Structure 1
C-alpha cells in the first residue's frame, strides 16, 4: 500500500486545488484507490456548495474511485492542526488489493441491526475478509452509540475508526462519492489491508472507582454506600491545591468499559460530561445512561496526562510494528474539539505532531470531532476528549 497527503490553506481556488490533487496523484505508483478529504466547515459561510464543488474537483482530477469528504471545525494534516481556519487536508491511498464499500446508514434501519443476519445484506464482504471500519456520523440525529453497539455485536474484534462530525449545524457535513449524506456513513475495508486503531484520552481517574447502586436514566443517586455527590466531593478533595484552583470545566465521569479489570487506569473508561449536581439530594446528572452494577470513576481533564498517554500509546505502536516488521503507510486521526487549543492553549499541534514524531513522514489527515470512534477492550465505542488514530498498513 502507498499513501500520500497534503494540507491546503486559504480560500478555495479551483486552480490551486487541481494543482494540489494532481501533484499528489502523480506521487503514487498507480491510480488512487480511495481518498479522504477533511474540510473546514467555515468554507460553507462563503459558498453553500463548497463541499459539493470540492468533491467534484478532487474526484475528477484525482482520478478517484472512491472519496470521503468530511467537514469539521478543524482539520489535521502532516503534523498540523488547523482549528477554525480556512484549510482542508487530503489523503490518497493506492492499493489495488484493497476492497472498500461505503454505505449510507439511514436512521430507519438502525433498530433492525441488532440482528446479525441483517448486516449481511448491507455489507458484501465475507466476515473473515473484513479488516476494519470507518464510521462518520451527523451530530444531530444519528444514534452512534447504539450503532456501534450493534456493529460490534455483528463483527466482534474488528476495529472501527472515525467520529461525530463537527461541521455547521443544519448543513450537510458528509459527502461520499460526490453525494451528500444524512445520518451516518459506514466504510468497510477488506482485502489486503490492516487497520490498527488506538485511542488516547485526555482525562485521568481521580478518587476511587465505585459501583452504581441507584440510577434513574441519566441521574446518578448512589455509588456504593455514598451519594454520587459525596463521591464527587471526595474525588475533589484528592486533588492538589493547585488542581482545585483550576478544576472548573475539567471534571468528568468515566464509565468502565469492562467490569473484569482488577485495577482501573487511564484509558479504561468512556469519558462523559457531568451536566449538573444537587447537593441536597446527592444526585449527579451525566451525559450517559449507565446501569446499576456498572463501575464509574470521576475524571480530571489534564493536558500533561493527555500528552504522556498519547506518547505512550504511540511508542507501544511503534514497538509492535517493529516487532512485526511492518511500516504503516498512513494515519487517520480524529481529535476531540475539547483538545487542541482548548486543552493545550498556545501549545497547539501537539496531537498531530506526536504522530510525526514517532512515524516521521507518514501520510496523515484527519479532523476535529464531537466524539471519537475507536476500540477499547476489543469493542468499539464513542469516546470523549480523546484522539483516535487509525494506522493503515
Structure 2
C-alpha cells in the first residue's frame, strides 16, 4: 500500500463537535483508516483529554494514537501560542512501526544497552528512526539518551519534552493517558525518516582545539586562556552588533574531528555558564575533552532564521518522497525569538514542502547531531517521514 498522511490544527478550548468534525474530515480526506496518529494539545484540553482521545480514535478510525501536552501547538504553516490541538494521521503498511511507553521501573531494569533490543523487540539493523515525547519531570533524559545511542548507533531519534505550565502535562500512548517517563514510536518499515536539527546559531571566531580542561571547565583553547579566546571571538563581531549579542554567546563542540572544514550542523551547542577573567576559565554546560575542537556561536533572530533555512534545504536534498513532518520547537522560539508567529512551520514548508505537519512547543528538544542524539535548547527538531 501507498502511505498517506493528513493533518489539522484547531484553535480554541475543548469542543466535542469541532473534534468530531476535524477527525471525520481527515479520515475522509485520507480515504482510509489511520494506522497511527500524533495528537498534541495545550493544557486547556487536559480536563477533557480522555473524551478527546476516544473521539479521535472513534471518528478518525485511528489504531494507535501517540501524543502529549505542549505549551503551544504547531501545524501546517501555523503556530498556536494559545489553546488548541494539532493532529497528524498516517496510513502506513502493516508492520511499519511499534509503540512503547517506558517507565521508571523499566529504567531500573537496564543492565546494558542490549536491554533496549529485548525491550522493544527491534534490533539496530531494523530500526529506521525513533520519535519520542518525554515527561518534563524525568531528570534522567540525558543518561537515557547515552544508553539509547549505544543501543541504536546512528539511528536518528527525534522528539521533545512535553510542555505545559504548572505541571499540567500528559503523555499519550495507544489512545490512553499513561504514567511514563517517555513514549516512543519506532519506525521499522514502510517509511524512512530524515531528521532536521536547527540549533539557531552561527559561528564566530575560528574553530580551535581545547588544550586544557577539567570537568566542565575549559581552561585553555588553542594554547591561550579560554576567556581570552572568547574575548577574541567577541571582538570579531562588528562593533555595532556587540551590545545586542553579549548575552547570546554559546559554545559549539565538534561532534567529529574527521572533518576538513567545519560548517553549520557540525557542532553541538551548549551554554556558557560562567567566566572567570582572572583564571581565564569558562564553565560550560558539557564535559568537553582536551583535543576537542570548539567554536564560539552567536544566537539571534537572524542566525536562527538562516540556520533553519539551511537545515531545511539540506534535509530536503536527502528526502526521496516526503510524506509528513513532526516538528518539535522550543518554547523560546516562536514570537519570543522571531517577533512573529508561524516562523518555524512556514520555513519548513518553504524549504521541504507544504506537507501535513503536527508538533508542539517543547521544554527541550531531542535530535541528532552527527551520529548521536542529544537534548537541546532553543532548537527546532523535525522528523520528516518519507514513503519507502
TM-score by length of 2: 0.91
Deviation at 1:200, TM superposition (A): 2.2
Deviation at 1:176, TM superposition (A): 1.3
For 1:379, the equivalent position in structure 2 comes to: 372
Alignment partners' CA distance in 2, 1:181 and 1:244? 47
CA contact (8 A) 1:207 1:236 kept: yes
Alignment partners' CA distance in 2, 1:107 and 1:217? 28
For 2:102, the equivalent position in structure 1 comes to: 105
Q: Tell me, yes or no, if structure 1 residue 211 matches structure 2 residue 209.
A: yes
For 1:388, the equivalent position in structure 2 comes to: 381
More divergent stretch after superposition (247-256 vs 281-290): 281-290
Q: Tell me, yes or no, if structure 1 residue 143 matches structure 2 residue 140.
A: yes
Secondary structure of the residue aligned to 2:63 is coil
Q: Where do residues 1-393 of structure 1 align in structure 2 (5 Å cutoff)? A: 1-41=3-43, 43=44, 48-83=46-81, 85-110=82-107, 113=110, 115-177=112-174, 178-321=176-319, 326-346=320-340, 348-393=341-386
TM-score by length of 1: 0.90
CA contact (8 A) 1:72 1:168 kept: no
Deviation at 1:240, TM superposition (A): 0.7
Alignment partners' CA distance in 2, 1:246 and 1:382? 27
Alignment partners' CA distance in 2, 1:61 and 1:249? 49
Secondary structure of the residue aligned to 2:25 is helix
Deviation at 1:114, TM superposition (A): 6.7
Deviation at 1:118, TM superposition (A): 1.2
Alignment partners' CA distance in 1, 2:111 and 2:165? 31
Deviation at 1:108, TM superposition (A): 4.9
Given the superposition, is the C-alpha separation of residues 344 and 158 from structure 1 closer, same or farther in structure 2, using an over 3 Å criterion? same
Alignment partners' CA distance in 1, 2:156 and 2:48? 32
Deviation at 1:23, TM superposition (A): 1.3
Given the superposition, is the C-alpha separation of residues 60 and 294 from structure 1 closer, same or farther in structure 2, using an over 3 Å criterion? same
Alignment partners' CA distance in 2, 1:266 and 1:319? 16
Residues 226-264 of structure 1: CA distance to partner in whole angstroms, max 9, x if unpaired? 222222111111111122021133111112111222222
Given the superposition, is the C-alpha separation of residues 216 and 111 from structure 1 closer, same or farther in structure 2, using an over 3 Å criterion? farther
Alignment partners' CA distance in 2, 1:282 and 1:358? 42
Residues 180-222 of structure 1: CA distance to partner in whole angstroms, max 9, x if unpaired? 2331222211121111112223101112233334434333333
Given the superposition, is the C-alpha separation of residues 111 and 219 from structure 1 closer, same or farther in structure 2, using an over 3 Å criterion? farther
Deviation at 1:359, TM superposition (A): 4.6
More divergent stretch after superposition (235-244 vs 293-302): 293-302
Alignment partners' CA distance in 1, 2:304 and 2:36? 32
Alignment partners' CA distance in 2, 1:90 and 1:305? 30
CA contact (8 A) 2:163 2:169 kept: no
CA contact (8 A) 2:11 2:80 kept: no
Deviation at 1:80, TM superposition (A): 0.5
CA contact (8 A) 1:78 1:352 kept: yes
Deviation at 1:365, TM superposition (A): 0.9
Alignment partners' CA distance in 2, 1:219 and 1:173? 37
Alignment partners' CA distance in 2, 1:110 and 1:214? 35
Deviation at 1:98, TM superposition (A): 4.4
Alignment partners' CA distance in 1, 2:206 and 2:215? 23
Aligned length: 383
More divergent stretch after superposition (104-113 vs 158-167): 104-113
Structure 2: gaps spanning 5 or more residues = none
CA contact (8 A) 2:37 2:64 kept: yes
Given the superposition, is the C-alpha separation of residues 359 and 257 from structure 1 closer, same or farther in structure 2, using an over 3 Å criterion? closer
Q: Please give the root-mean-square deviation of Cα atoms over the aligned residues, in Å.
A: 2.2
Deviation at 1:59, TM superposition (A): 2.3
